Amino acid sequence: MTIDRTATLANWMDAPYHRSAFQRVREITPTELIARGADVRRLERDSRPLDHVTFADRHGRTTTWAEHLASSWCDAVCVLHDGRIVDERHLGTMHERRPHLLMSVSKSVCGAALGIAVGRGRLRADDLVTDVAPEFAGTSLDGATVRHVIDMTAGTDFVEDYDVYVEADAAVPLIDYEIHAGYRPLHGRQPLGTLGHFRTYGTAFPHGARFQYRSPLTNVAARLIEVVEDLPYPEIVARDLWGPIGMEHDADVMLDPLRHPVVEGGMSCTLRDLARFGQMYLDDGVVDGRQVVPQAWVADTRDGDDVCAAAFEAQEGGNHDGWSMYRNAFWVIERGQVFSGLGIFGQYCWIHRPSRTVIARFSTYPTAFPEDLSAETLRGFTAVAEHLAAHPG
């Protein structure tokens, strides 16, 4: 199948153009390489028949794993059980060497990089942002801590509503941010970049009062890592994660018009490398006997604390998903047991500790966040994990 190259910066996040565009971000927008290391962590194969695994689809009917993948705009999926590949599929134009946009699963990579910097003593989660990086003095982060930033409980005033994708109105904060971040054409505007745009935000509530999902905060977290490590973010990820984990392929991250990395959603990598990242978290941060991400940080990510859980419950509109919290740039679905990186249009790095299952999935859902389709996908993950636990092979 030939890949479609009709997508441009003006339409690449719209269906149907995004299906090919998410596989060739390097052709559409500037990127910076995230280099792999010299050694590749091999993943053994232990293929299992999963096509027949059943669960409820978004219409309330029974579907199978095979039917779900065929009808849910899946681009690729890899299932690991006990660190072995039990199911791997590249659909359409995807193949094992082709990177795919992670969208907000990119945030989880940033969370891991931050955990490594904390483990080295470069900074602490309770440090004030302005003590780490005085450049943020006078912004909405005055008085905020690193913890407030990575857990999205800082009081920064920014509304992230994906229903606005239908209109793409530049007056909407999210769309205006995406213009200055490089996701959309500037159309003659003077570029602010991700960090410059952040400086225009006010303060909406006291730091720590509640969780509110705001992607630009992750760019701040990445900037804090750059400051304490004195290296560009892509080099930090290559040195501290991509090399030590034993990734198979180079990754990359988008650059805004001012050449700053678009950390909150601009990273691309291959499917198995995303699965390796999830497996590292399942294994308490250890890869082949080497501690990559501190064990304490991994435990804190999946377990969180009562303060974080309370902030999640206090989110505007309430906790309608029934999940546990947002911690260190992961969504904790079941505290201590199930957590995931999640990205719009259907990107997942899902970790299920009870069954020792990791599922990496790339998708191009027809809209940014179709709640019914996302819920179906997560039900499918759970059904597969439970099947693997019941039939270990």
pLDDT of residue 2: 66
What confidence tens digit (pLDDT) does each residue in 248-258 have?
Answer: 999 999 999 99
pLDDT at 283 over 90: yes
Indicate whether 169 pLDDT > 90: no
- The percentage of residues in the chain with a pLDDT greater than 70, rounded to a whole number, is 99
User: Residue 1: pLDDT band by 50, 70, 90 thresholds?
Assistant: low
According to the model, what pLDDT value does residue 5 have? Answer: 80
CA distance 147 to 152: 8
Write out pLDDT tens, residues 44-81.
999 999 999 999 999 999 999 999 999 999 999 999 99
The mean of the pLDDT values for the chain is 96
**Counting Cβ atoms within 10 Å, is residue 59 exposed (0-12), middle (13-18) or buried (19+)?**
exposed
> By CB neighbour count within 10 A (0-12 exposed, 13-18 middle, 19+ buried), where does 361 fall?
buried
| Structure-block tokens of residue 253 | 């991250």
Q: Looking at residues 314-337, what average pLDDT do you find?
A: 96
- State how far the Cα of 292 lies from the Cα of 307, in Å rounded to an integer: 27
- The residue-averaged pLDDT of 292-320 equals 96
Residue-wise pLDDT for 124-160, tens only, equals: 999 999 999 999 999 999 999 999 999 999 999 999 9
| pLDDT confidence tier of residue 274, bands split at 50, 70 and 90 | very high
The pLDDT of residue 291 is above 90: yes
In three state form, how does the secondary structure of the chain look? CCCCCCCCCCCCCCCCCHHHHCCCHHHHCCEEEECCCCCCCCCCECCCCCCCCEEECCCCCEEEHHHHHHHCCEEEEEEEECCEEEEEEECCCCCCCCCEECCCHHHHHHHHHHHHHHHCCCCCCCCEHHHHCHHHCCCCCCCCEHHHHHCCCCCECCCCCHHHHHCCCCCCHHHHHHHHHCCCCCCCCCCCHHHHHHCCCCECCCCCCCCCCCCHHHHHHHHHHHHHHCCCHHHHHHHHHHHHHCCCCCEEEEECCCCCECCCCCEEECHHHHHHHHHHHHCCCEECCEECCCHHHHHHHHHCCHHHHHHHHCCCCCCCCCCCEEECCEEEEECCCEEEEEECCCEEEEEECCCCEEEEEEECCCCCCCHHHHHHHHHHHHHHHHHHHHCCC
Q: What is the mean pLDDT of residues 263-275?
A: 98
Burial of 301 (0-12, 13-18, 19+ CB in 10 A): buried
- Residue-wise burial string across 259-275, b where 16 or more C-beta atoms lie within 10 A, e elsewhere: ebbbbbbbbbbbbbbbb
Residue type, 244: P
Q: Identify the bridge partners of residue 145 per DSSP, sorted by sequence position.
A: 128
pLDDT tens figures, 68-124? 999 999 999 999 999 999 999 999 999 999 999 999 999 999 999 999 999 999 999
- Dihedral angle of Cα 73, 76, 78, 79, to the nearest 10 degrees: 10
